[in-house]
Structure 1
Amino acid sequence: MKKRFLVLYIVSLGCCVAGLLLLSLGGWIRIKAVVAGYLLSRSWEMSLESGRPVKPWPWADTWPVGRLRTADGKIDLVILEGDSGEVLAFGPGHVSGSDRVAGSGHCVLAGHRDTSFSFLQHLKKNDVLLLRGLNGPVKYYSVQSFLVKRSNELYFDSEADNRLTLITCYPFSAVVPGGNLRYLVFAEGIPSGAVL
Protein backbone atom coordinates (compact mmCIF):
# COMPACT_ATOMS: atom_id res chain seq x y z
CA MET A 1 0.00 0.00 0.00
CA LYS A 2 2.84 2.40 0.90
CA LYS A 3 4.54 1.63 -2.40
CA ARG A 4 1.38 2.56 -4.34
CA PHE A 5 1.13 5.92 -2.49
CA LEU A 6 4.81 6.60 -3.14
CA VAL A 7 4.36 5.99 -6.88
CA LEU A 8 1.25 8.17 -6.90
CA TYR A 9 3.13 10.90 -5.03
CA ILE A 10 6.06 10.80 -7.48
CA VAL A 11 3.75 10.88 -10.51
CA SER A 12 1.77 13.79 -9.01
CA LEU A 13 4.95 15.68 -8.19
CA GLY A 14 6.26 15.08 -11.72
CA CYS A 15 3.02 16.40 -13.23
CA CYS A 16 3.18 19.51 -11.02
CA VAL A 17 6.79 20.20 -12.00
CA ALA A 18 5.98 19.71 -15.71
CA GLY A 19 2.98 22.02 -15.37
CA LEU A 20 5.08 24.71 -13.67
CA LEU A 21 7.71 24.44 -16.40
CA LEU A 22 5.08 24.86 -19.12
CA LEU A 23 3.52 27.84 -17.33
CA SER A 24 6.89 29.52 -16.91
CA LEU A 25 7.70 28.94 -20.58
CA GLY A 26 4.39 30.56 -21.58
CA GLY A 27 5.10 33.44 -19.22
CA TRP A 28 8.58 33.89 -20.65
CA ILE A 29 7.18 34.19 -24.17
CA ARG A 30 4.71 36.87 -23.00
CA ILE A 31 7.45 38.77 -21.18
CA LYS A 32 9.64 38.69 -24.30
CA ALA A 33 6.73 40.03 -26.38
CA VAL A 34 6.11 42.93 -23.99
CA VAL A 35 9.80 43.83 -23.81
CA ALA A 36 10.18 43.57 -27.60
CA GLY A 37 7.15 45.84 -28.11
CA TYR A 38 8.66 48.44 -25.80
CA LEU A 39 12.07 48.23 -27.52
CA LEU A 40 10.48 48.52 -30.98
CA SER A 41 8.49 51.64 -29.99
CA ARG A 42 11.59 53.17 -28.42
CA SER A 43 13.64 52.34 -31.51
CA TRP A 44 10.98 53.95 -33.75
CA GLU A 45 11.05 57.17 -31.68
CA MET A 46 14.86 57.25 -31.77
CA SER A 47 14.77 56.69 -35.54
CA LEU A 48 12.39 59.62 -35.97
CA GLU A 49 14.62 61.87 -33.88
CA SER A 50 17.83 60.94 -35.70
CA GLY A 51 16.32 60.62 -39.18
CA ARG A 52 18.02 57.25 -39.67
CA PRO A 53 17.08 53.67 -38.71
CA VAL A 54 17.99 52.60 -35.16
CA LYS A 55 18.00 48.86 -34.37
CA PRO A 56 15.76 47.88 -31.44
CA TRP A 57 18.53 45.72 -29.92
CA PRO A 58 22.18 45.36 -30.95
CA TRP A 59 21.87 41.93 -32.60
CA ALA A 60 18.59 42.68 -34.42
CA ASP A 61 18.54 41.87 -38.14
CA THR A 62 15.81 44.47 -38.75
CA TRP A 63 14.90 48.03 -37.83
CA PRO A 64 11.78 50.22 -37.80
CA VAL A 65 10.89 51.84 -41.12
CA GLY A 66 7.36 53.04 -40.40
CA ARG A 67 4.23 53.05 -38.33
CA LEU A 68 0.77 51.81 -39.37
CA ARG A 69 -2.38 52.93 -37.54
CA THR A 70 -6.11 52.66 -38.02
CA ALA A 71 -8.09 55.90 -38.02
CA ASP A 72 -9.70 55.03 -34.68
CA GLY A 73 -6.26 54.49 -33.10
CA LYS A 74 -7.05 50.96 -31.93
CA ILE A 75 -4.26 49.51 -34.07
CA ASP A 76 -0.81 51.09 -33.84
CA LEU A 77 2.04 48.97 -35.24
CA VAL A 78 5.73 49.60 -35.78
CA ILE A 79 6.70 48.35 -39.26
CA LEU A 80 10.03 46.56 -39.60
CA GLU A 81 12.28 46.20 -42.62
CA GLY A 82 12.02 42.79 -44.29
CA ASP A 83 9.48 40.01 -44.44
CA SER A 84 11.33 36.96 -43.11
CA GLY A 85 9.80 34.79 -40.40
CA GLU A 86 12.24 36.25 -37.87
CA VAL A 87 11.10 39.79 -38.67
CA LEU A 88 7.38 38.97 -38.73
CA ALA A 89 7.66 37.37 -35.28
CA PHE A 90 8.02 40.91 -33.90
CA GLY A 91 5.56 42.80 -36.13
CA PRO A 92 4.57 43.59 -39.70
CA GLY A 93 7.36 43.82 -42.24
CA HIS A 94 8.03 45.91 -45.31
CA VAL A 95 8.30 43.63 -48.36
CA SER A 96 11.61 44.13 -50.14
CA GLY A 97 11.26 45.39 -53.69
CA SER A 98 8.13 47.40 -52.97
CA ASP A 99 8.24 51.19 -52.58
CA ARG A 100 9.43 52.65 -49.30
CA VAL A 101 6.91 53.03 -46.48
CA ALA A 102 4.65 56.05 -47.12
CA GLY A 103 6.40 56.70 -50.42
CA SER A 104 4.70 57.76 -53.63
CA GLY A 105 4.60 54.27 -55.18
CA HIS A 106 3.26 50.85 -54.21
CA CYS A 107 4.18 49.83 -50.64
CA VAL A 108 3.58 46.21 -49.61
CA LEU A 109 3.48 45.09 -45.96
CA ALA A 110 3.20 41.55 -44.59
CA GLY A 111 2.23 40.30 -41.13
CA HIS A 112 1.05 37.24 -39.25
CA ARG A 113 -2.72 36.54 -39.31
CA ASP A 114 -2.83 35.60 -35.63
CA THR A 115 -0.81 38.52 -34.23
CA SER A 116 0.01 41.86 -35.87
CA PHE A 117 -2.32 41.51 -38.89
CA SER A 118 -5.26 39.77 -37.22
CA PHE A 119 -7.16 43.08 -37.53
CA LEU A 120 -7.25 42.76 -41.33
CA GLN A 121 -10.25 40.43 -41.08
CA HIS A 122 -12.28 43.29 -39.57
CA LEU A 123 -11.42 45.99 -42.12
CA LYS A 124 -14.19 47.24 -44.39
CA LYS A 125 -14.23 49.11 -47.66
CA ASN A 126 -13.42 52.81 -47.17
CA ASP A 127 -11.78 52.28 -43.76
CA VAL A 128 -8.85 54.68 -43.40
CA LEU A 129 -5.30 53.61 -42.59
CA LEU A 130 -2.52 56.01 -41.58
CA LEU A 131 1.03 55.23 -42.61
CA ARG A 132 4.17 57.10 -41.67
CA GLY A 133 7.67 56.46 -42.91
CA LEU A 134 10.92 57.66 -41.38
CA ASN A 135 10.99 60.78 -43.48
CA GLY A 136 7.89 62.68 -44.41
CA PRO A 137 4.37 63.26 -43.20
CA VAL A 138 1.64 60.76 -42.38
CA LYS A 139 -0.07 59.42 -45.49
CA TYR A 140 -3.71 58.34 -45.56
CA TYR A 141 -5.04 55.31 -47.42
CA SER A 142 -8.61 54.20 -48.04
CA VAL A 143 -9.29 50.47 -48.12
CA GLN A 144 -10.71 49.59 -51.54
CA SER A 145 -10.86 45.81 -51.90
CA PHE A 146 -9.96 42.39 -50.53
CA LEU A 147 -8.77 39.22 -52.24
CA VAL A 148 -7.67 35.68 -51.36
CA LYS A 149 -4.93 34.21 -53.59
CA ARG A 150 -2.49 31.33 -53.53
CA SER A 151 0.96 32.34 -52.32
CA ASN A 152 2.59 31.28 -55.60
CA GLU A 153 0.24 33.61 -57.55
CA LEU A 154 1.19 36.79 -55.70
CA TYR A 155 2.74 39.73 -57.49
CA PHE A 156 2.62 43.46 -57.04
CA ASP A 157 2.54 46.23 -59.57
CA SER A 158 5.75 48.12 -58.89
CA GLU A 159 4.61 50.87 -61.27
CA ALA A 160 1.43 51.67 -59.31
CA ASP A 161 1.29 55.05 -57.62
CA ASN A 162 0.09 55.84 -54.12
CA ARG A 163 -0.98 52.28 -53.18
CA LEU A 164 -0.73 50.14 -50.09
CA THR A 165 -1.16 46.37 -50.02
CA LEU A 166 -1.34 44.37 -46.78
CA ILE A 167 -0.76 40.58 -46.91
CA THR A 168 -1.33 37.85 -44.35
CA CYS A 169 -2.00 34.11 -44.26
CA TYR A 170 -5.55 32.85 -44.71
CA PRO A 171 -7.89 31.63 -43.27
CA PHE A 172 -7.66 33.65 -40.06
CA SER A 173 -9.06 30.81 -37.95
CA ALA A 174 -6.71 28.12 -39.29
CA VAL A 175 -5.49 25.71 -36.63
CA VAL A 176 -2.30 24.86 -38.52
CA PRO A 177 -0.06 27.85 -39.31
CA GLY A 178 1.16 28.57 -42.81
CA GLY A 179 -0.74 27.17 -45.73
CA ASN A 180 -0.69 28.44 -49.28
CA LEU A 181 -3.54 30.98 -49.16
CA ARG A 182 -2.98 34.69 -48.60
CA TYR A 183 -5.47 37.42 -47.69
CA LEU A 184 -4.77 40.74 -49.39
CA VAL A 185 -6.09 44.19 -48.53
CA PHE A 186 -5.72 46.86 -51.22
CA ALA A 187 -5.79 50.54 -50.29
CA GLU A 188 -5.32 53.72 -52.28
CA GLY A 189 -3.79 56.96 -51.08
CA ILE A 190 -6.14 59.84 -50.31
CA PRO A 191 -5.42 63.49 -49.47
CA SER A 192 -5.32 64.13 -45.71
CA GLY A 193 -8.08 66.75 -46.13
CA ALA A 194 -10.42 64.06 -47.49
CA VAL A 195 -10.39 62.20 -44.16
CA LEU A 196 -13.52 62.92 -42.12
Structure 2
Amino acid sequence: MRRKMASMLILTGFLFAGWNGYLWLAGTSSGQEAIGKNDIITNAEDEKSDPKTTESLSLPDNRSEPAATTSEEKIPSSPAAKKREEPILRDYAEYEKGAEVGWLLIPGLDMKYPIYWGTDEETLMLGVGYHPGNFTTPPDGLRHTVLSGHRDTVFRGLGELELGARMYVQFENIQYEYEIKKTWITDAEDRSVIVGKTEPTLTLTTCYPFNFIGSAPDRYIVEAALVDTTSMN
Protein backbone atom coordinates (compact mmCIF):
# COMPACT_ATOMS: atom_id res chain seq x y z
CA MET A 1 0.00 0.00 0.00
CA ARG A 2 2.79 2.40 0.92
CA ARG A 3 4.65 1.55 -2.26
CA LYS A 4 1.52 2.25 -4.30
CA MET A 5 0.98 5.61 -2.60
CA ALA A 6 4.64 6.53 -3.12
CA SER A 7 4.36 5.69 -6.82
CA MET A 8 1.25 7.85 -7.14
CA LEU A 9 2.98 10.76 -5.44
CA ILE A 10 5.99 10.45 -7.73
CA LEU A 11 3.74 10.29 -10.80
CA THR A 12 1.81 13.34 -9.58
CA GLY A 13 5.08 15.21 -9.13
CA PHE A 14 6.20 14.39 -12.65
CA LEU A 15 2.85 15.49 -14.07
CA PHE A 16 2.99 18.77 -12.11
CA ALA A 17 6.55 19.45 -13.25
CA GLY A 18 5.64 18.61 -16.83
CA TRP A 19 2.63 20.96 -16.77
CA ASN A 20 4.70 23.82 -15.38
CA GLY A 21 7.34 23.15 -18.00
CA TYR A 22 4.71 23.28 -20.71
CA LEU A 23 3.40 26.60 -19.40
CA TRP A 24 6.90 28.03 -19.33
CA LEU A 25 7.70 26.89 -22.86
CA ALA A 26 4.33 28.06 -24.19
CA GLY A 27 4.74 31.47 -22.58
CA THR A 28 8.26 31.84 -23.95
CA SER A 29 7.30 30.79 -27.47
CA SER A 30 4.36 33.23 -27.56
CA GLY A 31 6.71 36.21 -27.46
CA GLN A 32 5.23 37.74 -24.32
CA GLU A 33 7.59 39.74 -22.15
CA ALA A 34 7.63 42.20 -19.27
CA ILE A 35 6.68 45.80 -20.06
CA GLY A 36 9.75 47.99 -20.49
CA LYS A 37 10.21 51.48 -19.10
CA ASN A 38 9.42 53.22 -22.42
CA ASP A 39 6.98 50.72 -23.94
CA ILE A 40 3.87 52.73 -22.99
CA ILE A 41 3.83 56.06 -24.81
CA THR A 42 2.92 59.11 -22.74
CA ASN A 43 0.66 61.69 -24.31
CA ALA A 44 2.77 64.81 -23.90
CA GLU A 45 -0.06 67.17 -24.85
CA ASP A 46 -2.30 66.51 -21.88
CA GLU A 47 -0.01 64.36 -19.72
CA LYS A 48 -3.07 62.27 -18.92
CA SER A 49 -4.42 65.08 -16.73
CA ASP A 50 -7.83 64.81 -15.14
CA PRO A 51 -10.42 66.71 -17.27
CA LYS A 52 -11.81 68.24 -14.05
CA THR A 53 -8.49 69.92 -13.31
CA THR A 54 -7.34 70.79 -16.83
CA GLU A 55 -8.97 74.24 -16.84
CA SER A 56 -7.25 75.30 -13.61
CA LEU A 57 -3.88 74.61 -15.22
CA SER A 58 -4.48 77.07 -18.06
CA LEU A 59 -6.19 80.03 -16.40
CA PRO A 60 -5.46 83.55 -17.67
CA ASP A 61 -3.35 85.70 -15.32
CA ASN A 62 -6.34 87.79 -14.25
CA ARG A 63 -8.33 84.81 -13.01
CA SER A 64 -7.68 83.04 -9.73
CA GLU A 65 -10.51 80.53 -9.85
CA PRO A 66 -12.29 78.75 -12.69
CA ALA A 67 -15.74 80.07 -13.53
CA ALA A 68 -18.69 77.81 -12.80
CA THR A 69 -19.78 75.72 -15.76
CA THR A 70 -23.31 76.49 -16.91
CA SER A 71 -25.67 74.25 -18.81
CA GLU A 72 -25.02 76.29 -21.96
CA GLU A 73 -21.26 75.78 -21.90
CA LYS A 74 -19.80 72.88 -23.84
CA ILE A 75 -17.07 70.74 -22.34
CA PRO A 76 -14.37 70.02 -24.93
CA SER A 77 -14.34 66.42 -26.07
CA SER A 78 -11.35 64.19 -25.38
CA PRO A 79 -8.91 63.15 -28.14
CA ALA A 80 -10.51 59.74 -28.17
CA ALA A 81 -13.99 61.22 -28.56
CA LYS A 82 -12.89 63.38 -31.50
CA LYS A 83 -11.35 60.42 -33.31
CA ARG A 84 -14.38 58.19 -32.89
CA GLU A 85 -16.61 60.54 -34.93
CA GLU A 86 -15.38 59.25 -38.30
CA PRO A 87 -14.21 55.61 -38.20
CA ILE A 88 -11.69 54.55 -40.82
CA LEU A 89 -13.24 52.25 -43.42
CA ARG A 90 -10.75 49.67 -44.75
CA ASP A 91 -10.65 46.04 -45.81
CA TYR A 92 -7.22 45.33 -44.21
CA ALA A 93 -6.40 43.07 -47.15
CA GLU A 94 -2.69 43.68 -46.55
CA TYR A 95 -2.79 41.54 -43.40
CA GLU A 96 -2.53 37.77 -43.83
CA LYS A 97 -3.43 35.09 -41.31
CA GLY A 98 -0.74 34.79 -38.66
CA ALA A 99 0.90 38.14 -39.45
CA GLU A 100 2.14 40.16 -36.47
CA VAL A 101 0.17 43.41 -36.45
CA GLY A 102 0.73 45.15 -33.12
CA TRP A 103 1.13 44.89 -29.37
CA LEU A 104 -1.16 44.44 -26.37
CA LEU A 105 0.20 45.89 -23.11
CA ILE A 106 -1.41 45.12 -19.74
CA PRO A 107 0.29 47.01 -16.88
CA GLY A 108 -1.80 45.12 -14.29
CA LEU A 109 0.03 41.94 -15.33
CA ASP A 110 3.28 43.75 -16.24
CA MET A 111 3.16 42.02 -19.61
CA LYS A 112 3.22 42.92 -23.31
CA TYR A 113 2.11 40.55 -26.03
CA PRO A 114 2.52 40.60 -29.80
CA ILE A 115 -0.83 40.53 -31.61
CA TYR A 116 -1.32 38.26 -34.62
CA TRP A 117 -3.98 38.45 -37.32
CA GLY A 118 -6.54 35.67 -36.83
CA THR A 119 -7.86 33.42 -34.09
CA ASP A 120 -7.44 30.02 -35.72
CA GLU A 121 -5.66 27.38 -33.64
CA GLU A 122 -2.39 27.78 -35.54
CA THR A 123 -2.33 31.54 -34.94
CA LEU A 124 -3.30 31.28 -31.28
CA MET A 125 -0.33 28.99 -30.75
CA LEU A 126 1.78 32.06 -31.54
CA GLY A 127 0.11 34.23 -28.89
CA VAL A 128 -2.72 36.77 -28.81
CA GLY A 129 -4.92 36.75 -31.89
CA TYR A 130 -7.10 39.50 -33.40
CA HIS A 131 -10.57 38.30 -34.38
CA PRO A 132 -11.45 39.60 -37.87
CA GLY A 133 -15.10 39.50 -38.86
CA ASN A 134 -18.21 41.37 -39.89
CA PHE A 135 -18.75 42.78 -36.39
CA THR A 136 -15.16 43.69 -35.50
CA THR A 137 -12.50 46.17 -36.54
CA PRO A 138 -8.88 46.79 -35.55
CA PRO A 139 -8.49 49.74 -33.13
CA ASP A 140 -8.39 52.36 -35.90
CA GLY A 141 -11.91 51.35 -36.97
CA LEU A 142 -13.10 52.71 -33.60
CA ARG A 143 -15.72 50.06 -33.06
CA HIS A 144 -15.32 46.56 -31.57
CA THR A 145 -11.80 45.12 -31.33
CA VAL A 146 -11.71 41.51 -30.08
CA LEU A 147 -8.51 39.77 -28.98
CA SER A 148 -8.31 36.11 -27.94
CA GLY A 149 -5.66 33.98 -26.27
CA HIS A 150 -5.20 30.64 -24.56
CA ARG A 151 -5.85 30.58 -20.80
CA ASP A 152 -2.81 28.39 -20.14
CA THR A 153 -0.32 30.64 -21.97
CA VAL A 154 -0.79 34.35 -22.69
CA PHE A 155 -4.04 34.97 -20.79
CA ARG A 156 -3.63 32.80 -17.71
CA GLY A 157 -3.47 35.93 -15.47
CA LEU A 158 -6.49 37.66 -17.01
CA GLY A 159 -8.71 36.96 -13.98
CA GLU A 160 -6.44 39.12 -11.80
CA LEU A 161 -7.36 42.36 -13.58
CA GLU A 162 -9.64 44.79 -11.75
CA LEU A 163 -12.26 47.20 -13.02
CA GLY A 164 -10.70 50.53 -13.93
CA ALA A 165 -7.37 48.99 -14.92
CA ARG A 166 -5.81 50.27 -18.14
CA MET A 167 -4.77 48.30 -21.21
CA TYR A 168 -3.05 49.50 -24.36
CA VAL A 169 -3.12 48.33 -27.96
CA GLN A 170 -0.43 49.66 -30.29
CA PHE A 171 -1.45 49.40 -33.93
CA GLU A 172 0.00 51.16 -36.98
CA ASN A 173 1.96 53.75 -34.93
CA ILE A 174 -1.03 54.72 -32.78
CA GLN A 175 -1.43 53.71 -29.14
CA TYR A 176 -5.03 53.11 -28.01
CA GLU A 177 -5.65 53.31 -24.27
CA TYR A 178 -8.59 51.40 -22.81
CA GLU A 179 -10.16 51.22 -19.34
CA ILE A 180 -11.71 47.97 -18.10
CA LYS A 181 -15.42 48.46 -17.51
CA LYS A 182 -16.74 44.92 -17.13
CA THR A 183 -15.67 41.28 -16.71
CA TRP A 184 -17.86 38.20 -16.79
CA ILE A 185 -18.00 34.46 -17.41
CA THR A 186 -20.17 32.97 -20.11
CA ASP A 187 -20.77 29.69 -21.91
CA ALA A 188 -18.31 28.74 -24.64
CA GLU A 189 -21.13 28.74 -27.17
CA ASP A 190 -22.37 32.25 -26.29
CA ARG A 191 -22.57 34.19 -29.56
CA SER A 192 -23.49 37.51 -27.94
CA VAL A 193 -19.88 38.40 -27.09
CA ILE A 194 -18.58 39.15 -30.57
CA VAL A 195 -21.19 41.60 -31.80
CA GLY A 196 -21.21 45.00 -33.46
CA LYS A 197 -20.70 48.05 -31.22
CA THR A 198 -21.10 51.76 -31.90
CA GLU A 199 -18.49 52.86 -29.35
CA PRO A 200 -14.76 51.98 -29.47
CA THR A 201 -14.48 48.86 -27.33
CA LEU A 202 -11.73 46.34 -26.62
CA THR A 203 -12.80 42.82 -25.65
CA LEU A 204 -10.43 40.09 -24.46
CA THR A 205 -11.63 36.47 -24.47
CA THR A 206 -10.11 33.26 -23.14
CA CYS A 207 -11.25 29.84 -21.99
CA TYR A 208 -12.41 29.34 -18.39
CA PRO A 209 -11.81 28.01 -15.73
CA PHE A 210 -8.13 28.95 -15.97
CA ASN A 211 -6.90 25.76 -14.29
CA PHE A 212 -9.26 23.43 -16.17
CA ILE A 213 -7.61 20.41 -17.79
CA GLY A 214 -9.07 19.62 -21.19
CA SER A 215 -11.56 21.58 -23.27
CA ALA A 216 -12.92 24.28 -20.95
CA PRO A 217 -16.71 24.75 -20.94
CA ASP A 218 -16.80 28.51 -20.43
CA ARG A 219 -15.23 31.79 -21.53
CA TYR A 220 -13.79 34.63 -19.44
CA ILE A 221 -14.51 38.05 -20.95
CA VAL A 222 -12.89 41.43 -20.27
CA GLU A 223 -14.53 44.50 -21.81
CA ALA A 224 -12.84 47.92 -21.90
CA ALA A 225 -13.70 51.33 -23.33
CA LEU A 226 -11.37 53.60 -25.31
CA VAL A 227 -10.26 56.59 -23.23
CA ASP A 228 -7.33 58.05 -25.19
CA THR A 229 -5.13 57.76 -28.27
CA THR A 230 -1.50 58.73 -28.68
CA SER A 231 0.70 58.97 -31.76
CA MET A 232 3.84 56.84 -31.52
CA ASN A 233 5.79 58.85 -34.11
TM-score, length-scaled by structure 1: 0.65
Alignment partner, residue 185 of structure 2: 148
Between the aligned partners of 2:177 and 2:209, the Cα distance in structure 1 is 27
> In structure 2, do the counterparts of structure 1 residues 36 and 150 end up closer, same or farther at CA, with 3 Å as the change threshold?
closer
Q: Which amino acid aligns with 2:152?
A: D
Higher relative contact order (CA 8 A, sep 6+): 2
> In structure 2, do the counterparts of structure 1 residues 36 and 167 end up closer, same or farther at CA, with 3 Å as the change threshold?
closer
C-alpha contact (below 8 Å) 1:94/1:101 kept by paired residues: no
Shift of 1:103: 3.5
Between the aligned partners of 1:154 and 1:75, the Cα distance in structure 2 is 29
Unaligned stretches of 5+ residues in structure 1? 1-18, 39-51, 56-60
Between the aligned partners of 1:184 and 1:175, the Cα distance in structure 2 is 19
Alignment partner of 1:69 is 2:94: no
Alignment partner, residue 113 of structure 1: 151
Shift of 1:106: 0.6
Alignment partner of 1:182 is 2:219: yes
Q: Which amino acid aligns with 2:129?
A: G
Q: Which amino acid aligns with 2:227?
A: I
Percent same amino acid at aligned positions?
25
> In structure 2, do the counterparts of structure 1 residues 189 and 33 end up closer, same or farther at CA, with 3 Å as the change threshold?
closer
When the two structures are aligned, how many residues end up with a matched partner? 148
Q: CA-atom RMSD, angstroms?
A: 3.0
Report matched runs for 1:7-156 at 5 Å: 30=25, 34=28, 37=31, 61-71=97-107, 74-97=110-133, 98-133=136-171, 135-155=172-192, 156=194
> In structure 2, do the counterparts of structure 1 residues 174 and 190 end up closer, same or farther at CA, with 3 Å as the change threshold?
same
Shift of 1:109: 0.6
Alignment partner, residue 197 of structure 2: 159
Q: Which amino acid aligns with 1:65?
A: V
TM-score, length-scaled by structure 2: 0.55
Q: Which amino acid aligns with 2:225?
A: E
Name segments (4+ residues, structure 1) moved above 4 Å: 32-36, 52-55
Unaligned stretches of 5+ residues in structure 2? 1-13, 33-92
